[in-house]
């Protein structure tokens, strides 16, 4: 091989060979470069100097390449971490890339979900995520909507051709939670994705998240329900709230109520968030219907409980001052980068 052939070869090898392979091929005792140096003594004297310095340059190039790549690999290998330390300690601050520059960031809905679950976990609740494909029993039957019940029409459900349903609420998880966490006391929150066949507008989406909650024990009443939900909302919205419960209708609760809070932004003076009424109707809730407890294997003569279902998207809009629910899912990076 003459010099120019070797140079071309090096160019390819630098990209395809590992540092060790490069070393073996070019620098090791029987490698190409020592061989070239060997040849120098057979060359005409006037060519030796020029040739020698070119071979030296090539040698330097290879050595540098090996050295640089080694330090990169070593950096990757030997970043020491303390697995028992909190996250921040293991992250070298000067090296931490801005998440948005590299990998994206967590979605505002997921940030809010984390906050909410964190509050409930500190209040002693378990967490179980809902399913995204479910059946008639969990969507309706176990929740006291027998076949043909007119309230089934309140939910614009999507069905698959083989008879499964996309859950239209997270109440689908009530029966599973009662069975899994029973016998009482049961305290569990059940977040998950829901779907409804509806026309979208600034406050309606076909896909959204709900967080269901259930609390069952001996002697539980509407007073416990109001206290628990109020406590959670005040922690979440970081302000004191006035609350009201007003009548509503759901087959799976008795009595059925709607939880209403004083607007956390305008102190009931009226603003765009509360539609200038001073109050926000936030979620459906009520005492779990005895038939639902029975379907979940719990004796309603011994135990009672309350449940609620709240929209995560709605809470996120309120908390973040976003005015259109569709923005949460249209993938607009300029919007998402704000969070
Ligand atoms: N599943 C109801 C809905 O999406 C909300 C709801 C109401 C959930 C009352 C509950 C409840 O757990 O007790 O319309």
**Which of 140, 288, 133 lies closest to 217, judged by CA?**
288
Full-prediction pTM beyond 0.75? Answer: no
Read off the pLDDT of residues 233-282 as tens digits, 9 standing for 90 and up: 999 999 999 999 999 999 999 999 999 999 998 989 999 889 899 999 99
**Which of 260, 273, 266 lies closest to 317, judged by CA?**
273
Read off the pLDDT of residues 311-330 as tens digits, 9 standing for 90 and up: 999 999 999 989 899 999 98
Read off the pLDDT of residues 62-114 as tens digits, 9 standing for 90 and up: 888 888 877 766 666 555 666 666 555 555 555 444 544 555 678 999 999 99
Identify the residues whose C-beta falls under 6 Å from ligand 1: 169, 171, 212, 250, 253, 284-286, 307-309
Kindly give, in sequence order, each residue whose CB lies less than 8 Å from that of residue 249, ignoring residues fewer than 6 positions away: 151, 256
Fold of 110-336: BirA Bifunctional Protein; domain 2 (3.30.930)
157 CA to middle of ligand 1, Å?
15
Binding region for Mg(2+): 254
Phi, psi (deg, nearest 5) at residue 75:
-55, -40
Beta strands in 162-252 (DSSP E): 165-166, 186-195, 207-217, 243-247
Would you list the DSSP string of 81-110?
Answer: --TTS-HHHHS-GGGPPPHHHHT----HHH
Which residues lie across from 66 on neighbouring strands?
Answer: none
Read off the pLDDT of residues 177-220 as tens digits, 9 standing for 90 and up: 999 999 999 999 999 999 999 899 998 999 999 999 999 999 99
Read off the pLDDT of residues 20-50 as tens digits, 9 standing for 90 and up: 888 888 899 888 888 888 888 888 888 888 8
Question: Would you list the domain boundaries of the chain?
Answer: 3-75, 110-336
Nearest CA to ligand 1 atom 12: 308
Nearest CA to ligand 1 atom 4: 169
Tokens encoding 182: 């029973």
């Amino acid at each position: 091989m003459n010099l120019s052939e070797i140079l071309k070869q090096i160019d390819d090898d630098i990209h395809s060979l590992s540092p060790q392979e490069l070393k073996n091929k070019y620098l090791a005792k029987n490698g190409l470069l020592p061989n070239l140096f060997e040849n120098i003594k057979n060359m005409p004297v006037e060519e030796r100097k020029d040739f020698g310095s070119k071979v030296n340059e090539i040698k330097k190039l290879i050595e540098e390449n090996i050295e640089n790549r080694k330090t990169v690999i070593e950096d990757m290998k030997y970043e020491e971490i303390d697995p028992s330390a909190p996250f921040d300690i293991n992250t070298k601050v000067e090296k931490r890339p801005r998440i948005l520059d590299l990998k994206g960031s967590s979605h505002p809905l997921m940030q809010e979900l984390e906050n909410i679950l964190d509050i409930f976990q500190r209040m002693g609740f378990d967490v179980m995520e809902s399913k995204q494909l479910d059946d008639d029993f969990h969507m309706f039957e176990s929740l006291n909507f027998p076949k043909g019940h007119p309230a089934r029409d309140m939910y614009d459900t999507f069905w698959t051709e083989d008879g499964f349903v996309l859950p239209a609420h997270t109440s689908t998880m009530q029966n599973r939670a009662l069975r899994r966490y029973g016998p009482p006391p049961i305290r569990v929150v059940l977040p998950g994705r829901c779907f409804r066949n509806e026309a979208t507008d600034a406050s309606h989406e076909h896909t959204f998240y709900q967080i269901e909650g259930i609390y069952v024990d001996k002697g539980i009443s509407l007073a416990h329900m109001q206290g628990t939900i109020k406590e959670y909302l005040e922690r979440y919205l970081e302000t004191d709230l006035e609350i009201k419960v007003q009548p509503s209708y759901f087959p799976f609760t008795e009595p059925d109520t709607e939880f209403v809070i004083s607007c956390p932004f305008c102190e009931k003076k009226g603003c765009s968030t509360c539609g200038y009424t001073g109050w926000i109707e936030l979620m459906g809730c009520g005492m779990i219907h005895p038939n639902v407890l029975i379907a979940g294997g719990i004796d309603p003569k011994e135990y009672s409980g309350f449940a609620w279902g709240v929209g995560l998207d709605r809470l996120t809009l309120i908390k973040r001052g976003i005015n259109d629910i569709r923005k949460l899912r249209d993938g607009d990076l300029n919007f998402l980068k704000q969070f």
